Amino acid sequence: MLNALEIAGTKPVLSETGDAVPGQWFRVRAPLSRRLRILLAVFSFLLPLAVWSAVSYVPFIWHPDMLISNPGDVDYLMPGMRVKKATFALEIANAKANHAAPPQGIPCNPVYLPAPGEVLKAFYTSFTTPPRDQNGLWLHQSLWQSIQTIFWGFVISSLIGVPLGILCGSHSGVAKLVEPFIEFFRYLPAPAFGTLAVAVLGIYAGPKIAIIVIGTLFQQILIIANTTRKADFALVEAALTLGTRNLRLLTSVIIPSVLPDLYRDQRILLGWAWTYLIVAELIGATSGISLFITQQSRYQHYANVYAAIAMIGILGLGTDLVLAALGRKLFPWDKAAA
């Protein structure tokens, strides 16, 4: 009758050494070895790359177009042009019917899906190729412009958002005065303020930074406030019995106790700021990485476009990894970060 209980009592469901238990194939949050963790992380990048490579290099998976190598007698075709396979077949049939030379070509993917190899090459060449336009920017110049926009947007947002959020999270009066309006305002999409920002701040860096601030600040206040609210009240009470009063409760107890969590919040918010970057750069005079992407797509240099987009990802992830490592150094007592 109590078989299940007896079994649970005699055989541990999870063995202490971490070895798999027979019959237990789905283990909730089972720890992984370091080697396996690294291996899986590498695979998480390799897997999408493998799919992309397969689609790019194995002809029968997709390749809906034909890359013309010899136009034959067809007037409008030129070497290097891509046409739909149906069109290509039609032209061959036409040429045969008219006893003209048929076009020749090889199957290929559409121009907007370059192969991984091309994008990899573009990573290098987009840094070494001078801009086509006279007033165009090199890729590294575009990136630097974008980084500056992000930096100032995030710094301005944080200078307002972090102190205000901490105040909201530690004082009920301030919270009630500030938060209802913020709750409303955060639903207004930041890009909607684009034209307004241009009218007020001109067409250069100003409105772009403003869009990032608008997009980040209101979420930031609420997130920082919520984190601050999670400060262990027992520590506040302990500090009270040790003679701590008023604002020193904030500076000596609440802020230090939530500092690692605030730091983590800031890392997540910085990621959000990046997502507003492209929209922000398209406002007013297009600038930064968005200008580079726009120009390259105009010339159908899609490999460069992909390289530029990937560059944003690499910059974002790189920054976050550096900040995470810095966090472990800054807060050695924080167990959650270890």
Does residue 248 touch another protein according to CB under 8 A? yes
Q: Retrieve residue 279's tokens.
A: 């929209």
Nearer to another protein, 148 or 244 (CB): 244
Contacts (CB under 8 A) with another protein, residues 1-20: 1-2
CA distance 292 to 307: 11
CA distance 208 to 287: 9
Among 57-65, 73-81, 192-200, 239-247, the segment contacting another protein (CB under 8 A): 239-247
Among 104, 125, 148, 244, indicate the residue that binds another protein (CB under 8 A).
244
Among 31-39, 146-154, 252-260, 275-283, the segment contacting another protein (CB under 8 A): 252-260
Nearer to another protein, 34 or 245 (CB): 245
Nearest CA among 126, 135, 152 for reference residue 287: 135
Does residue 317 touch another protein according to CB under 8 A? no
Q: How far is the CB of 177 from another protein (least distance, A)?
A: 25
Q: How far is the CB of 296 from another protein (least distance, A)?
A: 48
> Long-range CB contacts (< 8 A, 24+ apart) of 273-276?
273/150, 273/153, 273/154, 273/157, 273/212, 273/215, 273/216, 274/150, 274/312, 274/316, 275/215, 276/153, 276/190, 276/211, 276/212, 276/215, 276/216
Per-residue binding letters, 203-232, with another protein (x by CB under 8 A): -----------------------------x
CA distance 80 to 69: 6
Binding site for another protein (CB under 8 A): 1-2, 232, 234-235, 237-245, 248, 252-253, 256-257, 259, 331-335
